[in-house]
Amino acid sequence: MPPWRPAENVGHFLGERRLTNHQKQLLKQWAASGRAEGAKTDRPKAPDYPTGWQLGEPDLILKMPTPFKIAADGPDIFQNFVLPMNLSKDHFVMAAEFKPGNKSVDHHSIFYLDKNQAARKLDDADPQPGYSTFGGPGFIPTGAVGGWSPGTTPRILPGGFCRYAAKGSDLVLQIHYHPTGKEEVDQSEVGLYFSEKPKNIVGNVTLANYRFQIEPGDNDHVVRANYTLPTDVILVGLTPHMHLVGKSMKISAKYVDGSIEDLLHIKDWHFYWQDQYYLQSSKRLAKGTQLLLEAHYDNSEDNPFNPSTPPRVVSFGEETTDEMCFCFCLIATDSPFNLLPVIFDNIKAVERQRNQVGIKAGQ
C-alpha cells in the first residue's frame, strides 16, 4: 500500500510497489494453511512510517497564512493563495510536498509560480483569504513546481532534474475544494526541497481533450488526445488525470517510423489513488514523435464511484462531478533554452482546443 495502479510490463517507474510471483505464491500457501503464524524469530521489524514530512524536513515551508472556510454545500471552489517565497536568488526545486490541511475537501492542488506579482493584485482585490478563480489561476504563470491529488506519493525528481524558481517569485497555491455537506476549514502547507547541483530543467506538456460527451449507461466510452513533439525531448514522468467515471488510461508514443510503444497503462483507474509516475530511466523521444492518450469511461449504474444516481450526461468540466481527460508529461531538452519553445507550442495547441469548446484563456 498504497496500491500500485500501472499495468505490468508497460514502463518502469520509481517506487514501484508490486508483489513478485514468489510472494503471491507464499500468500496462497499461507491462506491454504489457515493463515498459520510462522516462527516468531522470522518476524520482520514493523515498518517505520514518517509522521511529518514524508521527504524529510523541507528547505522551505510555505503555509496558508490564515484558515479558509468551505461552505457545507454549493459549487466547487478554486481558491488561490499567494505565498511569498522571499527568494534572494534563483533556486532549483527537486521536490515539492503538499501537506493537506483537510483531506476531506481537498480535491487537488497546483503549485504555480509568479515572479511578476500579478497574483498579489488579484488577492488584494478579493476580501477573502486568497482569491477565487475557476480552472486556471487567473494570470499567466512564470512556472510551476508540482501539484498534488489524492493518493500522490511525493518523490524527488530523478537524475538531477529540477524545476526552476526565479528570484523574487511567489508560490501561488491553487486548491480545488469540493463541499462535503458540512462546513469545513483548511490551512494547507507546501514544502520545497532545493538542489545545489541541478543537471537539467524540466517542464510540462499536456495531452488533453475537452470535447467529449458521455451518455448515461455508456460503460466504455473512449476519448483520445495526441500531441506531436516539435523537437527532440527527454521524457521524465507522466501524470494522468480523470475524475470519478474514469475507467482506464493508456499513454503511448508513436515514433516517426510508425511503430507504437506503450509508456503507461492504468487499467483500473481510481480517483482516490492518483500518482505522478517518474520513469526509472528517462527516455529520449525524437522530433515528430506523437504522444497518444486513450481513456475509457464508465458512466453506468454499475460504476460504484459514479457521482450521479441515476447517471447523467457527463462532459468536460471543473466540478468533481464533471469529467476530465489529461496527462501531464514531464519533459526536458538537452539545452534548457530549447525547453520553453516546446512548452509554448504545447500551450498554443491546448488553447486551440479550449477555444473550440468556448473555454476562455485563463479559465
Question: What is the average per-residue pLDDT within 75-102?
Answer: 95
Q: State the DSSP string of 326-359.
A: EEEEEEE-SSGGGHHHHHHHHHHHHHHHHHHTTP
Burial of 250 (0-12, 13-18, 19+ CB in 10 A): buried
Mean pLDDT of the residues in the chain: 93
Question: What is the average per-residue pLDDT within 100-106?
Answer: 91
H or E element in which residue 46 lies? none
pLDDT at 363 over 70: no
pLDDT for the residue numbered 353 = 84
Question: What is the average per-residue pLDDT within 123-145?
Answer: 90
Other CB atoms closer than 10 Å to residue 231's CB: what's the count? Answer: 15
Question: What is the average per-residue pLDDT within 305-328?
Answer: 94
Distance, in Å, from the CA atom of 340 to the CA atom of 203, rounded to the nearest integer, reads 8
Q: Helices marked H in the chain — which ranges?
A: 21-32, 118-124, 339-356
- In this structure, what is the dihedral angle of CA atoms 160, 164, 168, 173, given to the nearest 10 degrees? -100
Q: Alpha-carbon torsion 362, 359, 209, 70, what sign?
A: positive
Q: Which of 217, 274, 271 lies closest to 244, judged by CA? A: 271
Distance, in Å, from the CA atom of 79 to the CA atom of 71, rounded to the nearest integer, reads 13
Phi, then psi, of 351 in degrees rounded to 5: -65, -35
pLDDT for the residue numbered 362 = 43
pLDDT for the residue numbered 134 = 79
pLDDT at 48 over 90: no
Q: State the DSSP string of 94-149.
A: EEEEEE-S-TTTEEEEEEEEESS-HHHHHHHT-SSSSEEESSS-SS--SEEEEEE-
Q: What single-letter amino acid sits at 289?
A: T
- Please, which pLDDT band fits residue 107 given cuts at 50, 70 and 90? confident
Percent of the chain with pLDDT over 70: 98
Distance, in Å, from the CA atom of 133 to the CA atom of 78, rounded to the nearest integer, reads 6
pLDDT for the residue numbered 361 = 44
Phi, then psi, of 172 in degrees rounded to 5: -105, 105
Question: What is the average per-residue pLDDT within 320-333?
Answer: 95
- Please, which pLDDT band fits residue 136 given cuts at 50, 70 and 90? confident
Please report how many Cα atoms fall inside a 13 Å half-sphere around the Cα of residue 249, on the Cβ side.
27
Burial of 159 (0-12, 13-18, 19+ CB in 10 A): middle
pLDDT at 320 over 90: no
Distance, in Å, from the CA atom of 22 to the CA atom of 46, rounded to the nearest integer, reads 21
Distance, in Å, from the CA atom of 313 to the CA atom of 221, rounded to the nearest integer, reads 12
Question: What is the average per-residue pLDDT within 317-338?
Answer: 92
Question: What is the average per-residue pLDDT within 76-86?
Answer: 95
- Please, which pLDDT band fits residue 46 given cuts at 50, 70 and 90? confident
CA Rg, the chain, in Å? 21
Contacting residues for 232 by C-beta, under 8 A, at least 6 apart: 284, 285, 286, 287, 333, 334
Question: What is the average per-residue pLDDT within 16-43?
Answer: 90
- The domains located in the chain, with CATH, are 60-200 (2.60.120.310), 203-356 (2.60.120.230)
Q: pLDDT tens digits for 250-268?
A: 999 999 999 999 999 999 9
pLDDT for the residue numbered 246 = 97
Q: pLDDT tens digits for 158-170?
A: 999 999 999 999 9
Least confident of 17-26, 59-68, 222-231: 17-26
User: Could you tell me how far CA 16 lies from the centroid of its own chain?
Assistant: 17
- Please, which pLDDT band fits residue 359 given cuts at 50, 70 and 90? low
H or E element in which residue 170 lies? strand 170-177
pLDDT for the residue numbered 355 = 79
Distance, in Å, from the CA atom of 77 to the CA atom of 320, rounded to the nearest integer, reads 10
Q: Alpha-carbon torsion 176, 180, 182, 188, what sign?
A: negative
Contact 274, 153 (CB under 8 A): no
Question: What is the average per-residue pLDDT within 275-302?
Answer: 97
Q: What single-letter amino acid sits at 159?
A: G
